[in-house]
Amino acid sequence: MNLPQKIAGVNKNSIPRLVQYKYVLKKVLASGSDRVYSNELADAIGITAAQVRKDFSLFGIMGNKRGGYSVSDLLGIIQRILGSQPGQDVIIAGMGHLGIALSNYKGFEKEGICIRAGFDIDPVKCGVQGNIPVYPFSECEGYISNRNIKVGILAVPADAAQLVLDVMVRGGVEGVLNFAPVHLMAQRSCVIHDVNLGVELEFLLYFVNALNNRGGKA
C-alpha cells in the first residue's frame, strides 16, 4: 500500500477498523440498543479494547467507564470522518473483463459512488460497455482534468499499470484503486490503494487448511 502514514491526524491503518466499527455499530443499533462498550467492539472485531479506545481518542471520541459509548453518536462521528459523500464520480482505466465487471458492480452504488466512464487503448472496447461510455485512452487525461475527477480505478495488466497511473495523475486524479498485482509509485500527491486478490485468497486458504488440520470433521 502506498498511502501517507498519517493524514489529517488519522493513522491510515485505523480506517479499515473505522469501516468495521461502522458495520458493528449499525448491527447494535438495529438490535435496539444505543450503548456499547469498548470491549464489546473489540470482541466483535478481534482486537484489544485498548486499541478501540486509542482509535476513538484520536478522533476526540470519549467514552465513560460506566456508560460506555452512545452508538448513534459514534456512528455520526465515524460517518463524518469517513465522509463518502453521495455522487462521487469515478473513472475506470482498462475495460477488459475486470473493468467491465467493476463498471457493473452493484456494491458501489450503495456507497454513493458513480462510475462515469471507462478508457481503453483497444478501439474495439470503446463505445458503450454495460452502463458506461468507454473512450480511447488518449482522451483519459483530458476527461479527468475537464470533469475534475478525483478518483480512478486501475484495471489494466501489470506491465501497463505504471504508465496508465502516470497519465491519470497528470490529469489530476488524487486517489487510485489498483487491481494490478504490482507495486506502483505516484509522481505527485496521489493515494494508491492496492486490492490484492491473492492476499484475500491466501487468507481464506489459511482457514480451510486450519479446519482440516484440526481434524474431527463430521
Among 31, 64, 84, 148, binds a copy of itself (CB under 8 A): 84
Taking the complex as a whole, the smallest distance from the CB of residue 127 to a copy of itself amounts, in Å, to 16
Of the candidates 174, 172, 176, the one whose C-alpha atom is nearest the C-alpha of residue 140 is 172
Taking the complex as a whole, the smallest distance from the CB of residue 43 to a copy of itself amounts, in Å, to 8
Taking the complex as a whole, the smallest distance from the CB of residue 78 to a copy of itself amounts, in Å, to 10
Of 60 and 207, which has the nearer Cβ to a copy of itself?
Answer: 207
* Alpha-helix residue ranges (DSSP H) falling in the chain: 14-30, 38-45, 49-58, 71-82, 97-104, 107-110, 140-147, 158-171, 197-214
Among 24, 81, 121, 167, binds a copy of itself (CB under 8 A): 81
Of 63 and 96, which has the nearer Cβ to a copy of itself?
Answer: 96
Question: Is residue 218 part of the contact set for a copy of itself (CB under 8 A)?
Answer: yes
Q: Three-state DSSP class for 195? A: coil
CA distance linking residue 22 with residue 141, whole number of Å: 35
Of the candidates 7, 13, 27, 23, the one whose C-alpha atom is nearest the C-alpha of residue 55 is 13
Question: Is residue 117 part of the contact set for a copy of itself (CB under 8 A)?
Answer: no
CB 95 within 8 A of CB 157: no
Question: Is residue 147 part of the contact set for a copy of itself (CB under 8 A)?
Answer: no
CB 144 within 8 A of CB 174: no
Q: How many residues of this chain bind a copy of itself (CB under 8 A)?
A: 76
Among 7, 114, 163, 185, binds a copy of itself (CB under 8 A): 7
Q: Which stretch binds a copy of itself (CB under 8 A): 69-77, 82-90, 117-125, 139-147?
A: 82-90
DSSP letter for 125, please: G
Could you tell me the sign of the dihedral formed by the alpha carbons of 31, 37, 40, 46, in that order? positive
Site for a copy of itself in 197-216 (CB under 8 A): 197-214
Taking the complex as a whole, the smallest distance from the CB of residue 151 to a copy of itself amounts, in Å, to 6
